[in-house]
Amino acid sequence: MNHLRQRLTEGMLFTDQYQLTMGQLYFRMGLHEIKAQFDHFFRRYPDYGSHQAGYCVNAGLEWLVDWMQDAHFTDEDLALMRTLTDNHGNRLLHDDYLDWLRTHGTFDGLTLRAVPEGRVVHAHAPLSIVEGPLILAQLLETSLLNHLNYQTLIATKAARMVEAGRGRPVLEFGLRRAQEKGGNAGGRAALIGGAAFSSNAGISYHMGLPPKGTHAHSMVQLFMALGEGELGAFRAYADVYPDDCLLLVDTIDTLHSGIPNAITVFEELKRKGHEPVGVRLDSGDLAYLSIQVARMLNDAGFPDTSIVLSGDLDELVIWQIITQISQEAPRYGLDADHLIGRLVYGVGTRLITSWGEPALGGVYKLVAVQQEDQWKSAIKLSDSPAKMPNPGQKRLYRLYDRRGKATADLLSLEDERVHMNETLLLRHPTMHSKMRALRPDEVSAIEELLVDIVVAGKVVYDFPSLETIRQARQADIERLDPGIQRLVNPHIYHVSLTPRLWELKQQVIQAALAE
């Protein structure tokens, strides 16, 4: 049952119906094989309400390409499509079209250029560009957006939590609150974004990491119900996992039961030559409790055990906990930095759902189409200029200033090359009067961001390891200006157009308006 459902709902029909009705129209009009180009980009950074992202971390590409390579129309898919009728009771999708889909309906003919996973990406700059036969490039839309939007959203959220936690480990715990199987994509993206480990066993193994986790309240409840109490539960855990003893201490009362019992067990472990790992706090005032717990553990001779915090954490809560500890710990005679340095953050719901902004509004827009070997630029008009995509075939450059910080992303025409030996004019994508000049001595490096992933259906890219992806992310974040990087009210990073692209955009808009 499960398997049949997967084959039907996770293959080529993992798409919106309008892709298939447009496909038949293109087929009927003889347009299906003309070349088209679509850009994937987002217009707005996630805004979580009380805090906002100033950058995103790109993710999802490898899984998209996996999906593209497998997807095809099965006989079952086609049989179901044959059952559809129009409002007159006639067949909606006809046999000649369905036959074409059976033989040609794969992504073999497409070319995909994209920003690699882990790279920092910005609004209005393409994260990926698809070129190929119109019908196939169109058919890819839903799945591309589905794969790339969500993983980018979660990698971004994870990166923010790691920032807020000052680099202390963030553990991804969200599978139970995810959108069903999407929890796996979320786990992967969290690891790309900087979560150290995940509790999700399957995705951890897939990504080459050990899954992390110790025990739940239910284990303590069980021992209580059996008359052996919390201490009995902790002893059992220490017996079975003497070198991995991390105890959840809030089933009864953290300060009056959990920590005293944990200390008893830690002392027993120590006498046997084992090193206790730490405790986990899952409820209550985590900043206050961290301080009190640290005092008790220090006094008992365990100054270096970890204190894992969990329970509806997000980047703002983590930031607040650290701030409060910084202020309050000294009053209790504690070194705040030492305490902050033993914290670990277990984050579930608010990471896996990107709480506050649970979807990235990435779109996939037709920007060019080929007619008689000539590329023509396409546009969608809008009352809000910021919603008009940048037309035509393009390149994407990142410019670094003399400090080595990324200062702007620059979109050019496909046939333009941006060089360091000339003054660069950066035009605002929508506002005529806003522009900026960068002299050669103000630019330390220029980098092209889009790389070939798939060329005419063939994967030409070596997908990097998780470690490589994480290093790319870390390097990019270090090259962000602190104003872009901050958690609240960040500066807007410049994504600019070359003068030639700006001119093209104006022409295409005017031509469309003239219609």
Contact 175, 351 (CB under 8 A): no
Region from 146-154, 322-330, 488-496, 498-506 binding a second copy, contact rule CB under 8 A: 146-154
User: What character string, x for contact with a second copy (CB under 8 A) and - otherwise, covers 279-308?
Assistant: ----xx------------------------
Please state at what angle helix 75-82 crosses helix 95-104, rounded to 10 degrees.
160
Give the residue, chosen from 106, 111, 199, 498, that forms a contact with a second copy under the rule CB under 8 A.
Answer: 199
Distance, CA of 499 to chain centre: 32
| Integer angstrom CA distances of residue 480 from 158, 189, 475, 489 | 17, 20, 9, 15
Residues 24-43, interacting with a second copy (CB under 8 A): 24-25, 28-29, 31, 36, 38
Q: Which is nearer to a second copy, 104 or 217 (CB)?
A: 217
Closest CA to 379 of 273, 209, 501: 501
Please state at what angle helix 315-328 crosses helix 286-299, rounded to 10 degrees.
50
Region from 337-345, 351-359, 428-436, 490-498 binding a second copy, contact rule CB under 8 A: 351-359
210 counts as binding a second copy under rule CB under 8 A = yes
The pairing of beta strand 494-497 with beta strand 451-455? unpaired
Q: Encoding tokens for residue 492?
A: 């807007």
Closest CA to 159 of 48, 2, 53, 31: 53
Q: Which is nearer to a second copy, 17 or 471 (CB)?
A: 17
Sign of CA dihedral 127, 410, 485, 163: positive
Distance CA 442, CA 409 (A): 15
Length of the chain: 515
Residue 302 CB, shortest distance to a second copy, in Å, is 15
Residues 6 or more apart in contact with residue 213 via CB below 8 angstroms: 173, 199
Residue 475 CB, shortest distance to a second copy, in Å, is 27
91 counts as binding a second copy under rule CB under 8 A = no
Give the residue, chosen from 52, 58, 156, 214, that forms a contact with a second copy under the rule CB under 8 A.
Answer: 214
User: What character string, x for contact with a second copy (CB under 8 A) and - otherwise, covers 98-137?
Assistant: ------------------------------------x---
311 counts as binding a second copy under rule CB under 8 A = no
Residue 132 CB, shortest distance to a second copy, in Å, is 14
DSSP string, 56-70: EE---HHHHHHHHHH
Question: How many other C-beta atoms lie within 10 A of the C-beta of residue 514?
Answer: 6
Residues 249-278, interacting with a second copy (CB under 8 A): 251-253, 257, 274-275, 277
Give the residue, chosen from 142, 320, 430, 468, that forms a contact with a second copy under the rule CB under 8 A.
Answer: 142
Residue 134 CB, shortest distance to a second copy, in Å, is 7
SS3 368: strand
Residues 225-254, interacting with a second copy (CB under 8 A): 225-226, 229-230, 236-237, 239-241, 243-244, 251-253
User: What character string, x for contact with a second copy (CB under 8 A) and - otherwise, covers 150-189?
Assistant: xx---------------------x-xxxxxxxxxxxx---
Residue 175 CB, shortest distance to a second copy, in Å, is 6
Give the residue, chosen from 101, 145, 192, 438, that forms a contact with a second copy under the rule CB under 8 A.
Answer: 145
Contact 109, 6 (CB under 8 A): no
Q: Encoding tokens for residue 133?
A: 């036969």
87 counts as binding a second copy under rule CB under 8 A = yes
Distance CA 266, CA 246 (A): 10
Q: Which is nearer to a second copy, 262 or 368 (CB)?
A: 368
